[in-house]
Structure 1
Amino acid sequence: MKYLIGVDFGGSSSKATLLGEDGRVYATAVREYPTYYPRNGWAEQDAQDSYDAAVSNIRDLLQQTGAAPGDIAALALDAATHTAVLLGADDRPVRRAIYWTDIRSTAQAEELKETYGEEIIRESYNSVSSLWTLPQLRWLAQNEPDTLKKTRKLMAMKDYVRFRMTGDYVTDGIEAMGFLLLDAKQNKWSPLLCSLAGIDPDILPPIVDPMTSLSPLCRQAQADTGLTDATLVIAGATDTSMEVYAAGAIHPGQATVKLATAGRICPITDHALVDPRLVTYRHVINGLWYPGTATKSCAASNRWFRDTFGGDFNTLSAEAASVPRGCEGLFFHPYLQGEITPYLDDKLRASFVGASGAHTRAHFNRAVLEGVAYSMKDCYETLRELNAAPSEAVAIGGGIKSALWRQILADMLRIPLATVENVDSSLGSAMLAGVAAGVFCDHKDAVAHCVRVTGMTLPDPEGQAFYQRGFQIYRDIQRALAPVYHEM
């Protein structure tokens, strides 16, 4: 049996998947690490934490299954985009990486949008906001100039971990788009965007195809992971591109709906769909794209509610299910860190509106679930305006484990939502590694072997009608409160 390993790096943990050549998942491993919040609105990660998590998870996979290191045919990594690791002359990070939820560069993003907004979206296919690396680098240039002076290499988080493992300083064309420094049409670093960031393009890595085979694992990485230099290491890609791939969305017209830390709807298209309200990326399959919408605080809102008000997810979900649709007039807007689609507004904040003495914790918890789903409907309606809204989708992310939340979302979006047996970024990376290593013939073969539909959540007619009416109130509240948050 030949095996494949995919490793993902998220906001709070790393997950690794051991995939067999028969398409079965034989083991998974998870290791948590912190995201640091040194100031209000800031979010940072330590690149060493990611490396340590990767090697720990790989060792865990081998120990769980007894798989021989020589049977690991290939390895690929993925991670959230927009998280730049800056290395000095000694190839060590010069500071913690600014995570994509960080909003410290809001002023720089607004300045860039006002002055160079049209040029940026024309070059990069995306609109500037604080989640991108470009304004983050501009913030560093203005507030930590010594940091940029020390920087000799700039790479994404998964590329840093792989750099530690192989010594290859490269990135892939999907990841490169996440820096907002790429000429997307040419797939080359943009001199204009680099100049706006205050960096020399020479510090950026060469761009390769996600399935490019790289150098073997170095001796230190072999000692750390327990693998051998016989394991093929490929370039890999971003977390969203890999979870879209793991869901089997490899043809135009297919789509994924994600309930994770952030929420996303990603239709697959055969062309770039450029609009300021979207986050547009290439698909791992050449010629395809996934122009996604995004809500910043999706499962993050549910986790915030749990951590702030107590309980566990199973208990809270059961309580929420006991409350009728609409939470008896209580609405929640999930803008804990501002919002992306369709508002592109870092100044928006979360709110509960309509509370009365009759409302309980269960009402507030269900309001969070419905509020996130309303935000996802905002995303869906944006796609509808662009003639890109899917008629069905595969539901992915940790939030889909809740049958209640899946049903609310299906009713809200008014489309069927399929679920599959195993879907996450690390599985997608393992599948991609399998194609690159020849374990699977091609992408269709990988999907045929690895993707198994396990269920379908159909929209309820009464729920559809109810939430369609509620959506108008949800939007009215957003419009009314937005000026208040700007004043705050």
Structure 2
Amino acid sequence: MKYLLGIDFGGGASKTTLLSEKGEIVATNTCEYPTNYPKPGYAEQNPSDWVMATVENIKGVLNKSSINPEDIFAISLDAATHTAVIMDEDFNVIRPAIYWTDTRSKEEVKYLRENFEDVIDRQVLHKADTIWSLPELMWIKNNEPKNWAKVRKILFAKDYVRHVLTGDYVTDYIEAEGSMMFDINSMQWSETLLDILDISSDMMPEVVKPTDKAGRITKEASALTGLSEGTLVFCGTTDTAMEVFASGAVNKGQMTLKLATAGRICVITDKPYPDVNLINYSHIMDGLFYPGTATKSCAASYRWFRDTFGEDYKELDNLAETIPIGSDGMVFHPYLNGELTPYANPNLCADFVGVRASHTKGHFARSVLEGVTMSMLDCKMCLDEKNIECNSYASIIGGGGKSPLWRQMVSDALGIKLVEMKYADSSFGSAMLAGVAAGVFDSFQSALEICNEVVSETIPNEENREEYLKLFKKYKAVQKALEPIYNGEY
């Protein structure tokens, strides 16, 4: 029996999935790691934490499954995009990685918009924002010159961990698209954009396909993890690309709706749609793309509420379920780290508005869920305005989609059917990608047919939709009123 290993790095945890060639999940293991917030607007992660989580997870699935490590035929990795790791000549990490929710690079974004907008429009699928690697690295160059002077190598989250496992120095083209340093026309690093950082393309990793072989498990990595030396490791790609694949979205018009650290609605198309409100990436299948909208703090908002005010998710859901739509007048905006669609404004802040003495913890919990749901409705309306061909349903992905309450909220508010697959997380997608790349599965489509199936559907309630549309008007009115304050105009 051949086995496949998929390793994912999300916003707050890494998950590893062990998949058999028959499409059965044999074992999974998850290990959390922290995001550090040293100052307001800052968000950083330590690459060493990703490595430790990887080691723990691999040992975990090996122990749970009791399989022979030599039977693991191939490995692939994925991670949240554009989390750059800067290193010296010997691949020693110089400083913690700036995470994509970090908003410190506002001045660098302003500089890019004023001086390089034409270049970015021609070469990059996105608009300048604090989430991309280029402005984050510009901030380090401008504010930490001693650290920047040491930089000789740059990798991204999953590529750094894979380097520890194999010694390779590559990334994939989807990851590169998220850096704001990659020219999609030439499929090469952009010398013009790298010049802003005073670095050359030889400091950047080679760009390959997600299904390309990156290397093999080294003797040192074998001793560290328990994997067999020489095990095949493929490049892999981004977490959203893997979730899109795992959800079955491999045909034009299919939609995915993601309730994870960030929230996204993506549509499979045969061309990109460059726009200030859309984030465009290539699909793992040639000739396809998945443009989409995004809210920065989706499940991150609920996690923040849980961590700050207590209770576990199930109990919070139970409390929220007793509260009527509209939370008895309370409105929450999930802008904990600024916002992307449709405002592209890192200055926006989260808020609870309309709080009264009668409100309970259940009201606050429901208000958080409703606030994120309203942000997802903002995202869906932006897609509708672009007249992109979409199906009338979406595959639900991300941990937030495991909540029946939240799933129904989103279905009602957006007025679309949500389809839940048996498996839809990115580590599962990475395991399938490893199987396709290694020839265990004949194609991406056949991998899905062997490994996955629909397990539930959530149908929208039209009466509830009317109530959510009323809430949305209030949500938008409050946002419009508060934005000048958050922009420092008062």
TM bucket (normalised to shorter chain) is over 0.9
The superposition leaves residues 164-185 of structure 1 with CA deviations (integer Å, 9 ceiling, x where unpaired) of 1111101100010111000012
What letter is aligned with 1:194?
Answer: L
Q: How many residues align?
A: 488
Report what 2:428 is aligned to.
427
Residue type at the aligned position of 2:431? A
Out of 82-91 and 116-125, give the one that drifted further.
116-125
Q: Is the 8 A contact 1:251 1:268 kept in 2?
A: yes
Superposed counterparts of 1:33-44, under 5 Å: 33-44=33-44
Secondary structure in 2 matching 1:16:
strand
Letter in 1 for 2:115: T
Cα distance, 1:199 vs. partner? Answer: 2.3
For residues 114 and 380 of structure 2, the distance between their equivalents in structure 1, rounded to whole angstroms, comes to 27
Q: Using a 3 Å threshold, how does the CA distance of structure 1 residues 335 and 390 change in structure 2: closer, same or farther?
A: farther
Distance 1:234 1:384 in 2: 37
5 Å-filtered alignment, 1:154-173, equals 154-173=154-173
SS at match of 1:290: coil
Is the 1:210–1:235 Cα contact (8 Å) retained in structure 2? yes
Q: Distance in 2 between matches of 1:89 and 1:189?
A: 19
Q: Does structure 1 conserve the Cα–Cα contact (< 8 Å) formed by 2:170 and 2:214?
A: no
What corresponds to 1:49 in structure 2?
A: 49
Matched, 1:153 2:153: yes
Task: Output one character per residue of 1:210-259: Cα deviation in whole Å (capped at 9) or x when no partner.
Answer: 10113221100111121223421101001110111111111111111011
TM-score, with length taken from structure 2: 0.98
Letter in 2 for 1:292: G
Using the TM superposition, give the Cα deviation of residue 341 of structure 1 relative to its aligned residue in structure 2, in angstroms. 0.7
What is the correspondence of 1:76-475 to structure 2 with a 5 Å cutoff? 76-388=76-388, 389-475=390-476
CA contact (8 A) 2:256 2:394 kept: yes
Distance 1:328 1:299 in 2: 22
Residue 164 of structure 2 aligns to a residue in which SS? helix
* CA distance 1:335–1:312, shift in 2 (3 Å): same
Instruction: Report the AA paired with residue 387 of structure 2.
Output: N
Contact 1:298 1:372 in 2 (8 A): yes
Shift of 1:469: 2.1
CA distance in 2, matches of 1:311, 1:215: 44
Q: Answer yes or no: is the 8 Å Cα contact 1:4–1:74 preserved in 2.
A: yes
Task: Give the Cα–Cα distance (whole angstroms) in 1 for the partners of residues 368 and 35 of structure 2.
Answer: 23
Q: Which runs of 5+ in 1 are unaligned?
A: none
Distance 2:234 2:222 in 1: 16
Q: What letter matches 1:485 in structure 2?
A: Y
The offset of 1:192, in angstroms, is 1.1
Between 110-119 and 264-273, report the one with greater CA deviation: 110-119
**Distance in 1, Cα, partners of 2:206 & 2:402:** 39
Q: Which whole-Å deviations, capped at 9, do the CAs of 1:259-295 have from their partners, x for residues lacking one?
A: 1111111111111111111111111111111112110
Alpha-carbon displacement from aligned partner over 1:336-376 (angstroms, at most 9, x marks no partner) = 11001111100000111122222211111101101100000
Residue range with higher mean Cα deviation, 50-59 or 192-201: 192-201
What's 1:7 paired with?
A: 7
> What TM-score, normalized by structure 1, do the two folds share?
0.98
Distance 1:69 1:203 in 2: 34
Q: Distance in 1 between matches of 2:153 and 2:62?
A: 33
Distance (whole Å) between structure 2 residues aligned to residue 302 and residue 183 of structure 1: 36
Other-structure match for 1:71: 71
State whether residues 269 and 291 of structure 1, in contact with CA within 8 Å, keep that contact through their aligned partners in structure 2: yes
Distance 2:418 2:480 in 1: 29
Q: Conserved in 2, the CA contact under 8 Å of 1:105 and 1:135?
A: yes
Q: State the distance in 1 between where 2:114 and 2:25 align.
A: 48
What amino acid does structure 2 have at the position aligned with 1:408?
M
Q: Secondary structure at the match of 1:449?
A: helix
Are the counterparts in 2 of residues 369 and 405 from structure 1 also a CA contact under 8 Å? Answer: yes
- 2: distance between equivalents of 1:216 and 1:477? 54
Gaps of 5+ in 2: none
Separation of aligned partners in 1, 2:139 and 2:30: 33
What is aligned with 1:58?
Answer: 58
User: 1:390 Cα shift?
Assistant: 4.3
Whole-angstrom CA distance in 2 between matches of 1:197 and 1:117: 16
CA distance in 1, matches of 2:406, 2:215: 44
Q: RMSD over aligned Cα, in angstroms?
A: 1.1
Q: SS of 1:227's equivalent?
A: coil
Secondary structure of 1:289's counterpart equals coil
Aligned residues of 2:45 and 2:98 also touching (Cα < 8 A): yes
What is the CA deviation profile of residues 179-217 of structure 1, one whole-angstrom value per residue up to 9, with x for unaligned ones? 100001221111111112332222101100110113221
Q: Is the 8 A contact 2:243 2:426 kept in 1?
A: yes
Distance 2:35 2:68 in 1: 33
Superimposed CA distance per residue, residues 67-103 of structure 1 (whole angstroms, 9 cap, x where no aligned partner): 1111101000111111111110221111111111111
- 1:2-35 deviation digits (Å, cap 9, x = unpaired): 1100001122111000011111111100111111
Give, in whole Å, the separation in 2 of the partners of 1:422 and 1:309: 31
**Partners of 1:214 and 1:302 in 2: how far apart?**
37
Moved more, 380-389 or 14-23: 380-389
